[in-house]
Structure formats: C-alpha cells, structure tokens
Amino acid sequence: MTSAVPSTLTTFLCFLFLAANFSGAVAQESASKQPAATAKPEKKIAEIKIGYLRAYAPQLTLSLLDLPPRDEGVASAKVAIGDNNTTGAFLGQKFSLDITEIKPDSDAVQAFDGLIAKGDRYVVADLSAKQLLSIADIARDKGVLIFNIGATDDSLREEDCRINVFHIAPTRSMLADALAQYLMVKKWPNWVLLYGSHEQDHLYADALRRAAARFGGQIVAEKEFKDSGTARRTDTGATQIQQQISVFTQDLPEHDVVLVADESEVFGTYVPYRTWTPRPVAGTAGLVASSWHPASEQWGGIQMQSRFLRTTGRRMLSKDMSAWTAVRAVGEATTRTNGDDPKKISDYIRSDDFSVAAFKGQKLTFRKWNLQLRQPILLSDAKSVVSTSPQEGYLHQVSELDTLGVDEPETKCALK
C-alpha cells in the first residue's frame, strides 16, 4: 500500500508533462498558420529646404556698439528652422537651411544657382537691390520664392516688383512715415534735414521729404554733409567730424527737430548733443525707426528675446527679426497647406487666410499689390522703445498699417 502513492504521483506528473507539451505543440502549430504581422509603413518625411543667400563684409560704423554681429540674421534663421521643425515633426515635415555668403559687390547669380542645385525652393535674401534683381527673374522661371530681408529700397516693391519676391524688411518710406506720424502727434512739425552724400543717404532723404508732404510736416531747411574720406575711426578723424557738426548746424532757421539721413555712417551718430541749437534728433540717429529693437518686450517680445539670447548669446536685432519672420512664413504656409509646392505656398501667402505672428501685437500679412509685409514700426533710442507706429488717429479703410509706406492707390507695381 505504501508504494502506491509514489506510483500514483508519478503517473499524475507524467500526465501534466504530456498535456503541457501537447498544448505547446498546438499553440506552435496555430501560430505557424497565422499570417505574419503586417509592418506599418513608415510615414514619408517631406523635406523643405530653405536657402539663405547673404552679401556680407565687415562694416565701418562710427560707434563700436553699432557693429553688426557676424551672424546677424543667420542666427535667427536657425532659430526659426528649429521652431518650424517643432511643428513639422507632427506633420511629417523636416526643414533645413543652406547658407551661402558672397561679397556685397559680387555677382549673386552663381551663388543662387548653387542653392537651387541643392534643392532649395525658398531663398531668404540679404542682398542689395541690384543683387536681388539679378536673381529675381531666374528664381521666377525656376519656381523659387525669394524673401527679401535686407534691401529697403521702395523700387523693389514698385517699378521693379516681382511676383515671386516677398518683402519682409520694411521700406524706407515705411520707416520715414512711422517717424513723421510720431513727430506730428508730438506737434513738432518743423524739421531740418541733414543728409549724407551717398546714394542710400539720398534715398532715405527722399523718403523723409515724401513723409513730410504726406503728413503735414515742413522741412524748413536742408543741408548735405559731404563725405571727405576722413579716417572716421581714428582719433583725429572722429574729432574733426564732431567739431564740424556745431558749425554745420549754426545757420539753420528755427525748427523743432533735426532729421538725419546717414545710412552710410559718415556723420549721423555725432549729431545728437552737438547741434548749435539744442533740438531732438531723429532719422538714422537719435530717435530711429526700425522693424525691431533689442529692448522690445511687449506682446510676448520678452519671451522671444529671452529664447534668442539663450540660443545665440546676444540680443535680437531688426535683421534677426526679419530673417526669423521669413523662415516662419515658409513654415506657417507649408503647415497650413500641408505640402511643399512653391506655387501653392505663394498663392496661400498672398491670400486672405495667411498671417504670421511676430511679437508685434497683431498678426502680419502681405500687401497684395506689392508683396510687402505689413508691420508696426518701432521708434527707439539706444536703450528703449519710445513709441510704435502707426500712431493713434491715423486711420485707414483696410488696415492702419497701410498708413505706412506706399498704399494701393499710389503703387506703381505690376506683379509679373
């Protein structure tokens, strides 16, 4: 009787072992008959390649503080690429940036062709007006969109406008109008105009004359400051120019404000506090109109400033904001259209549905008649933003922003 228990236990264990093996065999056979799991197809990634064509050479400025950073514009374009990719990751889009640099007086065509050969169908251009025009028609014929962030020439938006060139940088007329509105609001209507002897100085002076006529200002006197070729950054050269300012402004009639048009950086920085009669200075010195300022902190600007500072180690300048806005405009358009067709992107950007947020208190859009970006203009000194134009009271039937620069009834642009 005692030997029966182990025998029974042994029989029971054998049964369990056989049952387990049988169950496993059935499971294996069943698994072998199941169709192989279908692998999910990988989501196709659309690569949006953006070119950055830049004309660069070290600049000569009267103040060391005015020397532009080596990566001006480029740094913010890279930040915007990161912003685009944050959204693009959810939509199967990947943005990249190709940077090409040329000299300010060199031919831009070869460098532009190089970007196109890399597959760039959107190009951020920091070029002179002449260089930009040299590539505009080539880009149009190849279906490439250009975003101008450097040239402020009104002619590029008027008689020389192109249907594939979008302008992020404000025009000289927009900058001058923004300044004129503020001076009229302050009831400082009588102006003296001091301008340099270089072409860009004359163009800004023309914009200030236009603004005076448009908003009721009176230019009571004008004087041209001739560039004598003095070594401006030497002690003797700087002292010589500074001493000239007081005498240069001695015989001026009664006025409220001194306007300076000195884009070429010959004398303008030395005008404030050195005029014969104590008067506020505005234009390219003193109170300056620009698309952005390192101290701008309204409308979420402080968030953008802080993020840019953490990324680049410096403050954000006007060209930085223009480059960031250009890359973000491409990102916004490709996101909304869910594609990478420059024709569709161009149509969408010019439509009523498009806008881009740029920390300026309102969404920005392009003018349909000349593809200029509507935008508020900041009026600032070296330390802070003094005011923002359009000024209160300057109304428009479509957008108050269209009180700055060339309005549709005035335009000479015929997009082609």
Query: CA-based Rg of the chain, rounded to a whole angstrom?
Result: 31
pLDDT of residue 29: 43
Cα angle: 200, vertex 192, 128; to 5 degrees? 10
Quick check: helix, strand or coil at residue 102? Answer: strand
Could you give the CA distance from residue 298 to residue 288 in angstroms, rounded to a whole number? 18
146 bridge partner residues: 123, 165
Q: What is the pLDDT along the chain (416 residues), one digit of tens a residue?
A: 344 444 444 444 444 444 444 444 434 444 444 444 455 556 678 899 999 999 999 888 888 888 999 999 999 999 999 999 998 998 899 999 999 999 999 999 999 999 999 999 999 999 999 999 999 999 999 999 999 999 999 999 999 999 999 999 999 999 999 999 999 999 999 999 999 999 999 999 999 999 999 999 999 999 999 998 765 555 555 677 888 999 999 999 999 999 999 999 999 999 999 999 999 999 999 999 999 999 998 888 898 999 999 999 999 999 999 999 999 999 999 999 988 889 999 999 999 999 999 999 899 999 999 999 999 999 999 999 999 999 999 999 999 999 999 999 999 999 99
CA distances from 215 to 149, 192, 208, 374 (A): 27, 16, 11, 19
Q: CB–CB of 102/54 below 8 Å?
A: yes
Q: Backbone phi, then psi, for 368, in 5-degree steps?
A: -70, -25
